Chain A
Amino acid sequence: MSSAAATGRRLDPQAGEVIDRGSPLSFRWDGKAHTGFEGDTIVSALMASGVDVFSRSFKYKRPRGVLSATFHDPGCTVQVGDEPNVRAAHRRLAAGMDVSPENVWPSLKFDVRAANQLVGRFLSAGFYYKTFMKPQRLWPAYQKILGRFAAGGVTAADAEHGYYDKRYIHVDVCVAGGGPAGMAAAVAAARSGASVLLVDEEYHLGGHLRYGGEAELAALAELRAEVAAQKSIEVMTNAAVTGRYDMNWIAVVQRQPGISVRGRSIHERLCKVRAGALVVAAGLIERPYVFEGNDLPGVMLSTAVRRLVNLHAARPGDKAVVFTANADGDACAQDLRRIGVGVTVVDARTGGNIVSAKGGKRLKSVDLADGRSVDCDLLVTAVGWTAATPLLNMAGDRPVYDPTPARFFPTDRLPATVVVAGALAGDGSTAELIAHGTAVGATAAARAGHGSEVPVPALARVAHPELYRSTTHGFVDYSEDVSSKDMFAAKKEGYDSIELVKRYTTVTMGPSQGKLESVNAVAIMAEAHGVTDLNEIGTTVWRPPYVPITLGALGGRGFENTRFSPMQSWHEQHNAKPLVAGDWIRPEHYGDAAAEVAKVRDKVGIIDVTPLGKLDLRGPDVPKLLNLLYVNKWSKLAIGAVRYGVMCAEDGVVMDDGVTGRLAEDRYIMTTTSSGAATVWEWAESWLQTEHPDWQVHVTPVTTGYASMNVAGPKSRELIGRVVEGVDLSNDAFPYMHVRTATVAGVADCFMWRIGFTGELSYEIHVPAAYGLHVWEALFDAGSDLGVGAFGVEAQRIMRLEKGHFIVGQDTDGLTLGFGADLGWCIKLDKDDFAGKPELVLQSQRENYQRLVGLQPVDPTIVPAEASQIVEGAKKIVGRVTSSRMSPTLRRSICLGFVEPHLATPGTVVTCQLPDGRRVQLKVIEGLAHFDPAGARMKV
Chain B
Amino acid sequence: MIQVPCPWCGPRNSMEFRAVGESKSRPDVATTTPEQWRQYLYTKSNLADWVTETWYHRAGCRRYFAVERHTVTNDIRESRLPAAQLRQKEGSGS
Which residues of A are in contact with B by a Cβ distance under 8 Å? 245-247, 249, 274, 650-651, 682, 685-686, 689-694, 832-833, 837-839, 842
Query: B89: nearest residue on chain A (CB-CB)?
Result: A693
What is the bound-complex CA distance between A338 and B82, given in angstroms?
74
12 CB < 8 A contacts A-B = A246-B1, A682-B18, A682-B56, A689-B84, A690-B82, A690-B84, A693-B84, A832-B30, A833-B29, A837-B29, A838-B29, A838-B37
Among A247, A650, A694, the residue within 8 A (CB) of B88 is A694
The answer, among B3, B37, B64, B74, for a CB contact under 8 Å with A686, is: B64
Residues on B with C-beta less than 8 A from A691 are: 26, 84
Per-residue contact bits, chain B 15-47, to A (CB 8 Å; 1 contact, 0 not) = 000101000001001101010010011000000
Q: CB < 8 Å: which of B2, B20, B30 contacts A247?
A: B2
Give chain A residues whose Cβ lies under 8 Å from the Cβ of B26. 691
Residues of A within 8 A of B64 (CB): 685-686, 689-690
B85 interface neighbour in A686, A693, A833, Cβ under 8 Å: A693
Write out the residue numbers on chain A whose beta carbons fall within 8 Å of the beta carbon of B85: 689-690, 693
Question: CA A685 – CA B37 in complex, angstroms?
Answer: 22
Is B54 positioned at the interface, with any CB of A under 8 Å from its CB? yes
Chain B contacts for A693, CB-based, 8 A: 82, 84-85, 88
Q: A685-B64, A693-B82, A693-B88 are in contact. List 9 more A-B contacts (CB 8 A).
A: A246-B1, A246-B2, A689-B82, A690-B64, A690-B82, A694-B88, A832-B29, A838-B32, A842-B34
Bound Cα distance A245, B74 (Å): 12
Contact with A along B50-84 (1 / 0, CB 8 A): 00001010100011100000000010000000111
Query: Are A685 and B2 interface neighbours, CB within 8 A?
Result: no
How distant is B91 from chain A, measured CB to nearest CB, in Å? 8
Give the Cβ gap from A599 to chain B, nearest Cβ, in Å: 42
Do A249 and B1 touch (CB < 8 A)?
Answer: yes
Cα separation A692 to B54 with both chains bound (whole Å): 16
Asked if A245 and B1 make an inter-chain contact with CB atoms under 8 angstroms apart, the answer reads: yes
- For the complex formed, measure the closest distance between the CB of A920 and the CB atoms of chain B, giving whole angstroms: 39
Residue among A689, A690, A832, A839 facing the most chain B CB atoms (10 A cut-off): A690
A736 CB to closest chain B CB, in angstroms?
34
Chain B hits for A842, CB < 8 A: 34
Which residue in chain B gives the minimum CB-CB distance to A834?
B29
A839 to B35, CA, bound (A): 11
Interface centre among A650, A833, A837, A838 (most CB of B within 10 A): A838
Q: How far is the CA of A682 from the CA of B13 in the complex (A)?
A: 20
CB distance from B94 to the nearest CB of A (A): 13
Question: In the assembled complex, which residues on chain A have CB atoms less than 8 Å from the CB atom of B83?
Answer: 690
Rounded to whole angstroms, the CA-CA distance of A38 and B64 in the bound complex is 58
Among B30, B41, B56, B84, point to the contact of A692 (Cβ < 8 A).
B84
A838–B2 CB distance below 8 A: no
Across the interface, name the chain B residue whose C-beta is closest to A842: B34
Give the chain A neighbours of B84 by CB distance below 8 A. 689-693
CB atoms of B41 and A651 under 8 A apart: yes
Cβ of A689 to closest chain B Cβ, rounded Å: 5
A690-B82, A691-B26, A838-B32 known; A247 and B62 CB under 8 Å?
no
Cα-based distance from A245 to B34 in the complex (angstroms): 43
CA distance A690 to B25 in the complex (A): 10
- The 10 A-B pairs with the shortest beta carbon distances in the complex, nearest first, are A690-B82, A246-B2, A689-B64, A838-B37, A693-B85, A249-B1, A833-B29, A693-B88, A690-B64, A693-B84
